[in-house]
Chains A and B, each alone.
Chain A
Amino acid sequence: MIRIVTLERLDPTDLAFLTGTLYRAFGVGTEHAGDRHLPADAEGKDGRVDAIRLLKDAPPVRSLPDDKVLYITSAPLSLPKGPLGEPPCWGFAEFGGERAVISTSRLPARGVTEASIETWRKRLAREAIHALGHTWDLHHCYDARCAMHPSWSQGLAERPEMELCTFCREKSERKIRLAKT
């Protein structure tokens, strides 16, 4: 089961769209586990929240083994600098683990038109699939139309894809099946 925890309120229709999309992507039941607060001291000096720490300190929700917990925040996330710099962060996850987090801060503006809201929802769902995919052992994918493609991929803003490619989908299905048995 995927349990979504919102760290700020999310529009119920956005949430409904997200749970439906996640169910379709992974074939796993998805529910909103409620709102929680961002840990009080989560915000760093630069106004961003350390994604690794957030996952560690995020308020727990009741979950069963093999459940996945997806946190959604509007706070911008930061990552420790790597050998070539700091990669931009849309979300973060425990590889093969339980928790994932995504941030809405880098999504295109939600706006008020039907089209802009739809784009926003799709992009949110795409990041959710990506982050949760990591919890099922998925790596990044070279297929630009796959949700496991790095989130800074160019062109993503215009056509957010909410699908996993066949390879990633089958891999996640194997993993999910394995967890069930």
Chain B
Amino acid sequence: MKPGDRVVYPNQGVYRVVGVVEMDIGGKRQSFVRMQSEENPAATVSVPREKVPAIGLRRVATGEQMEGVFHYLAAQFDDPELDWKVRHRDNADRLIAGGVLGVAEVVKGLHSLSRIRPLPTKEREQYDNARHLLVHEIAVSLGVPAVLAEDYVDYALMPPAGVKFDLKPPPTPVLLPSRPKKRRPVAEDEDDLGLSDLGIDIDLAGALEGAAALPEGDLPAAEGEEGEAATPGAEAPAAEAGGDEADEGEGDDAAARPAKAAAKTQPKAAKAAPKEKAPAKAAKPAAKKPEKKAEKKPAPKKATKPAAKPAAKRGGKKK
């Protein structure tokens, strides 16, 4: 990773690497990668160098990979996950660990679903967030303005009448390493129960989401505003908090820091903030649990007919 490289900070957006700086954190000398937001150059973050893999920093997708993304967006999609809890959690994982195709998967999946019924608020926000991430990565990767990137996305997702594409077989999204996919919702897990408990389960997604991401509604844009207002401050806290985390070995939590300027003086409070049960412990094991990988199955899909199920639910479950 060298200065000028553009990287994707999962759930946050595209950043440009400024350089590596040495800082004293609590009397300990540490290396930090300093990065500047592409969207809002006034916003910079510094992350401990050794935490880079844990945070999931990755390079911006190449033009070739992006082409695959568009063929994926334009492909048929008929297998929405109908249990919103599973879906929301899976999507949160995809945004963090699924690479650019994972982000496209979220956009496409929720877009398909929105054609059956409007998305619940949380997912509407997740959808917007995913769109934002995808649009900006496309913009940077293809070197086009964001609004044009978004037109490209929707041109693929919902082509104008009469437009047919000569599609290549779409790339296969990476299977998320964190846990097995449950395609078939179990009874007590049925959806439309409400959104109150969203994200409370301590699992990878919950942990990552609570810790590594902004509250979902807080789009990078909003974060930018914050950064703009308090840039010099915003930078140090990231580093400081990151250093703190480094000692405790919480890579995922450290990821949260750059975004949360407010966390600067009380990292502990911030840690607890996302949920009562701070994912301090959950974050790490979840990210590493290799035994779970084994359980992962590509999953017998087509469990349900998308069109039929939601209708039944709509009738039966709402309030």
A: residues with CB less than 8 A from B are 52, 79-80, 82-85, 87-89, 92-96, 134, 137, 139-140, 142-143, 150, 152-154, 167, 171, 174-175, 178
Contact = CB atoms under 8 A, between A and B. Distances in A.
Contacts of A84: 70-71, 74, 152, 155-156, 159, 165
Interface in B248-297: none
B111 interface: yes
B136 to A, nearest CB: 8
A140 B157 CA distance: 11
A95 B156 contact: no
Interface stretch (B41-49, B85-93, B139-147, B175-183): B139-147
A80 B144 contact: yes
Contacts of B67: 83
B229 to A, nearest CB: 10
B70 A134 contact: no
Nearest to A167: B124
Contact of A95 (B111, B145, B152, B153): B145
Interface of B: 39, 66-67, 70-71, 74, 111, 114-115, 118-119, 124, 127-128, 131-132, 135, 142, 144-148, 150-156, 158-161, 163, 165, 219, 221-222, 225
A120 to B, nearest CB: 20
State the 4 A-B residue pairs at the shortest beta-carbon distance, nearest first. Answer: A95-B146, A82-B152, A152-B160, A142-B114
B147 A95 contact: yes
A66 to B, nearest CB: 12
Contact of B148 (A52, A88, A96, A139): A52
Contact of B66 (A83, A134, A175): A83
16 contacts: A80-B144, A80-B148, A82-B70, A82-B152, A84-B70, A84-B152, A84-B155, A85-B165, A87-B152, A87-B154, A94-B147, A140-B154, A142-B111, A142-B127, A152-B160, A174-B222
Looking at B111, B115, B146, B161, which has the most chain A CB atoms within 10 Å of its CB? B146
Given A82-B155, A140-B131, A96 B165 contact: no
A93 B147 contact: yes
Contacts of A174: 222
A178 B152 contact: no
